[in-house]
A and B are shown apart, each in its own frame.
Chain A
C-alpha cells in the first residue's frame, strides 16, 4: 500500500498542476514572508538587550513644562544629576553620562583622517554601566586621564590596520585635542541605540575648562544613564528622583517647571522619540512594529486557510478513489494516514520552494540587508526550524479535516459517485476571511501610499533644489580665525560663476535646530506663551539662498555688528508671542533667556524645517556672531547646469582656507529626502507584505472558484437543460461571491478605517482617508473576483450538458 502511495500522489499532483502550484507556492511564500517579518520584528525589539544586566539600566529624560503645558521632551538631563544620584541614593549601583559629537578624527602619523566620526565624551564609569568587552589595552580604567580615548575594534582596523593601536595619538578636530588610545572595545552591535566609534574621556573637558565633574542644574546637556541595584522598582526610584529634583533644581522662572523620567534602555529604540536622541527618529516605532507583527500573523493564517481550503476542496473530488481503496481493504486509519502524509509531503515541497525563494533573494533581502540576521541566515538553525514548523503545522491542520471526514465515507455511496455534503459554512467562512484580509490590505496599502506621496510632494516653503551643502570646518571650532575665514571663504566662493548665493548657518533644513528655549516673551506683556522656541543661527544670505520670503520688515545686513541684539521671527513665533500681525511685531522688544532684550527687525514666512514629519515650529533667527559660530554648514545656491562642476572649484578654495579639514559636501534635495529613507524602507516592507498576502488571497480565490465550478458542473448542466442562458449561469456564480464580498466589506472597512486612522494620526501633516480609495479597493477586489469567476464560468458554459448529467 505504502509503496504506491507516493506514486499515486505524485501522479495526482502532476495531473492537477494548477492545484499543486497554487497550494505549494502559496504556502511557501506565506511562510517565508511571515518568518522574515517575525525576524524583523524580533530584531527591532531586541535593541539594547545584548549585555547581561540590561534590565537594570535606565536613561533619565527631561520634560519641560511651561504654565503646566509640556513644551519639550528631551533625551538629555542636567549634568549635575549623575554625581548627585551616586552620592545620595543607595538604590543606585552606577551612573554614567556622555555627550555626543560628530568629529574630524585625524591620525597624523599616517595622514589618515575621516570626518563625522561618532564621538562620545564619557565619564570613566561608562564601562560600569555598558558592559562592552574591552579587547585590548587598559581593561579597568581606560578613560580616567585627560586626552585618552577608547576605540571600537572596527575603528582600530580602519585607522591602524595591523599596527597596535594602544598608545597611538589621534587628533580630534584639529591640533588642540591629541587623544591617546588606551583601549580597544568590541564593536557595539547594530541593534543598540548607542552609536560610537570613539569614547573620549570627559576629563579632557575638565582640564580644558569647558566642563566640570560636578556639573550644573541649569541646562540639560548630558545623556544620563543609571544602573539600579537588583530588586529596585522603577516607581520607587522615580519618586526618589522627584524628591532629589525638588531639592536641587530651581527654574527661577515660576512658569517653567521640569520633570525627570526614566526609561529602560531596551525601550529607547522603539518608544523614545524625543528631542536630542543620539540616533534621531528612525521611523520605527512600537506601533509600527505591532502593525508588522499583526501582518505577519495575518499572512501565515491566510496562507494556511488557503492551503486548508484547497486541500479540502480537492479531496472532495477524490471520493471515488477512497471508495475503491476501501473495497480493496484499506481501513479508516490507514486512509487518515494517507491524507496526513499527503499534506506533509506537500509542505515538504513548499519548504523546497521556500529555500529557493530565500536563496534567490527574491523576497525582502533588499530591505533587510542592513540587519545582521540576514547575513548569517544559512547557519541560523532556529530560522529554518521556524519555517519548517510553520509549514508542518498548516499541513497537519489541512490534512486533518479530509482525513477525518472522508475516511469515514461509505464505499457504497462514493463508488456510485455520490459526493459527500460539503460544509459550505466552513468554506464560505474561510473565503470570507480571505476577502476581509484582502480588502483591508488593499485599502491600507493605497492609503499609506497616498500619505507617502503627499509628504514627498507637498510644498515645503523653501527651495531645496540645486543646493550644494558643505559641512563646516571642525578645526575652526572656537578658533580665533573662524569668523574671518568664514568671510573669506564666502566671498571667494560667491565670485565663482554659477554661484547665486552662499550662506553660513548653524543648521540647515532637515536638521534639528541646535538650541531651543522656552524663555521668550514680549517685553510689553506679562503673559508668557506655552511653547518652546527654536533658535536658529543664520547669516544675511540664508533667506535668499533658500528662497524663503520675508513678509514684513527687513533682513540682516552684512554689517554684523549692527545685529548683536536683532532677531527675525517666523510667522508661527509671531503668533505664539502674542503679536496681532507681523507688522505689529516689527521693532518690538522681546525678552529671551537670561533676560536679554532683542529687537524684532523682520518676519519671515513659515517653512518646514523638519519636513512634514513634525509640526511647524516657532523659530527665532539670530545672526551668526563671532562667539557663537560653531561648526555648521555652508549652503551654496547654484545654477542647475553648473552645480556638479562647481564641486572641484569650491574644493580648491576650501583646501586653501581650511587646510586642516576634510572637504565634505552633499546636495540639499537628496539630504532632505534622506529623512524619509527609514520611512520608505519600512513602507516597502509593509507594501511587499501586503502585496504578498493579496497575492495569496487571489491564488486561493482562483483555485477555489475553479473547484466550485467543477463541483457545480452537474447543476450547471441541469440548469442549462431547463433553460438557463450563459448570463443566468454567470450571475448565479457571481452572486454567491457578491454576497461574501459585501459581507466582508461590512467587517473589513470599519476595522481598517480604525487602524488607518490610528496610523495616520502619528503624522502631523496627513491625508484624510479618501472615499475614492475605499471605492478603488472594492473595485479591485471585485475585479479579481470577476476574473476568477468569469474564467471558470466560461469553461462551464462551453461544455455540452449531455456530457455532464449521465449517471
Chain B
C-alpha cells in the first residue's frame, strides 16, 4: 500500500453555506496501480489530485502516505515527502520557458544533493530513454505540445518517484500525441511506477487498472 485516504472532507464557506469540494472520500492505492479519476467539470478531480500530491490541504479525515500520517505532518515535512516520492505531470506541461529542455529536466536534481557528473548522467539517461537527445538544447517554445509533455514527464521521472500524479496529461494534445503519452504511462506502470491520472477520456481511462468516478466531491463508484 502506497497511500490511504480515510473520510477526507474539504470545503469552502460561501455565504452561510458550506460547499464541499471533497465529501467523505475513501481511497486506498496499492503499489503498482494505475488509477484514473473521472468526473464532470467541478466534480473535484483536480482537488483530489492536489490533496494526494500534498499541494493542497484538507479539512477533515486521515491521509497516510507510505506509513506516514500526512495530516499530522508539518508543512516542511510534507514538502519533503512529496519532493522525495511524487512526480507531477500537468495538462499545460508547466515547463520553465527560460530554460532549455536539458535544464528543465535537470532542475529537480539541483534541489537535491547530486553532483554535477551524477546529474549529467541522469539527464542523459532520461533524454535517451525518451528519444529527445536531439532536442536537449531547444527551448519549450520551440517544441510541439507532445514533445513538451514528454519533457514534462521526463522531468517528473528524473528523481525516481514512487508515484506519478498526472492532471489531464493529454488534455492539450491531439489524439495521436495523446496516444503516445498514454503508451508511455502504460510502459512506466509496467516497470513498476504507480500512476494516478485525472482524465476526461474513457479511452485514456482504459489504460488504467482502476477508475474512480467523482460527482460533487463524492466517490460514486470505485471499480476495478
Chain A interface (Cβ < 8 Å from any Cβ of B): 714-715, 718-719, 721-725, 728, 800-802, 805-807
Contacts and interface: CB of A to CB of B under 8 A. Distances in A.
A725 B96 contact: no
B112 A801 contact: no
A324 to B, nearest CB: 21
B196 to A, nearest CB: 15
Question: What 10 A-B pairs are tightest by C-beta distance, nearest first?
Answer: A723-B111, A802-B55, A807-B92, A723-B83, A722-B108, A802-B50, A718-B94, A802-B56, A723-B108, A724-B111
B94 A805 contact: yes
Contacts of A723: 83, 108, 111-112, 159
B83 A801 contact: no
A721 B55 contact: yes
30 contacts: A715-B96, A715-B98, A718-B94, A718-B95, A718-B96, A719-B96, A719-B107, A721-B55, A721-B88, A722-B83, A722-B88, A722-B107, A722-B155, A722-B156, A723-B83, A723-B108, A723-B111, A723-B112, A724-B111, A725-B111, A728-B110, A800-B55, A801-B55, A802-B50, A802-B55, A805-B92, A805-B94, A806-B46, A807-B91, A807-B92
Contacts of B98: 715
Interface string B90-107: 111011111000000001
Contacts of A805: 90, 92, 94
B49 to A, nearest CB: 9
Given A715-B98, A719-B96, A719-B107, 15 more contacts: A715-B97, A718-B94, A721-B88, A722-B83, A722-B107, A722-B155, A723-B83, A723-B108, A728-B110, A801-B55, A802-B50, A802-B56, A805-B92, A806-B46, A807-B90
Contact of B111 (A714, A722, A802, A807): A722
A801 B112 CA distance: 19
A682 B130 CA distance: 70
A800 B108 CA distance: 19
Contacts of B90: 805, 807
Contacts of B55: 721, 800-802
A208 B128 CA distance: 111
- Determine which residue in A715, A719, A722, A728 has the highest number of CB atoms from chain B within 10 A of its CB, and name it: A722
Interface residues of B, number: 22
Contacts, number: 41
Interface in B146-205: 155-156, 159
Interface in B110-142: 110-112
Nearest to B50: A802
- Determine which residue in B56, B90, B111, B156 has the highest number of CB atoms from chain A within 10 A of its CB, and name it: B111
B165 to A, nearest CB: 10
A722 B111 CA distance: 8
Nearest to A718: B94
Contacts of A802: 50, 55-56
Contacts of B94: 714, 718, 805
A512 B1 CA distance: 98
A719 B98 CA distance: 13
Interface in B22-67: 46, 50, 55-56
SS of B interface (majority): loop
A639 B134 CA distance: 92
A714 B97 CA distance: 11
A722 B53 CA distance: 11
Given A807-B91, A807-B92, A800 B159 contact: no
A806 B91 CA distance: 9
Contacts of A800: 55-56
A35 B174 CA distance: 61
Nearest to A715: B96
A287 B55 CA distance: 63
A318 to B, nearest CB: 20
Contacts of B83: 722-723
B160 to A, nearest CB: 13
Nearest to B99: A715
A130 to B, nearest CB: 69
Contacts of B112: 723
A806 B198 CA distance: 14
A722 B107 CA distance: 8
A801 B50 CA distance: 10
Nearest to B141: A421
A781 B120 CA distance: 37
A802 B21 CA distance: 15
Nearest to A424: B98
A801 B95 CA distance: 14
Contacts of A714: 94
B41 to A, nearest CB: 13
Contacts of B110: 728
A195 B64 CA distance: 92
Contacts of B107: 719, 722
A719 B97 CA distance: 12
Nearest to B171: A807
Contacts of B88: 721-722
A800 B47 CA distance: 13
A725 B91 CA distance: 24
Contacts of B97: 715
A805 B92 CA distance: 9
A807 B112 CA distance: 28
A805 B46 CA distance: 12
Nearest to B94: A718
A60 to B, nearest CB: 69
A806 B90 CA distance: 9
A613 B187 CA distance: 85
Contacts of A715: 96-98
A428 to B, nearest CB: 13
Interface in B68-94: 83, 88, 90-92, 94
A800 B56 CA distance: 8
B6 to A, nearest CB: 22
A725 B90 CA distance: 21
Nearest to B55: A802
- Determine which residue in B55, B56, B88, B95 has the highest number of CB atoms from chain A within 10 A of its CB, and name it: B55
B183 to A, nearest CB: 24
Contacts of A801: 55
B221 to A, nearest CB: 26
A77 to B, nearest CB: 72
Contact of A728 (B50, B92, B111): B111
A351 B80 CA distance: 53
Nearest to A419: B97
A800 B88 CA distance: 15
Contacts of A718: 94-96
B205 to A, nearest CB: 21
B164 to A, nearest CB: 13
A626 to B, nearest CB: 90
Contacts of B111: 719, 722-725, 728
Nearest to B158: A722
A724 B88 CA distance: 14
A806 B42 CA distance: 13
A250 B155 CA distance: 95
A722 B79 CA distance: 10
Contacts of B46: 806
- Determine which residue in A724, A806, A807 has the highest number of CB atoms from chain B within 10 A of its CB, and name it: A807
Nearest to B98: A715
A728 B79 CA distance: 14
B102 to A, nearest CB: 15
A1 to B, nearest CB: 33
B104 to A, nearest CB: 9
A722 B50 CA distance: 14
A734 B90 CA distance: 28
A805 B156 CA distance: 16
A684 B112 CA distance: 53
A616 to B, nearest CB: 63
A725 B96 CA distance: 17
A802 B79 CA distance: 13
Nearest to B88: A721
A725 B56 CA distance: 17
A234 B95 CA distance: 73
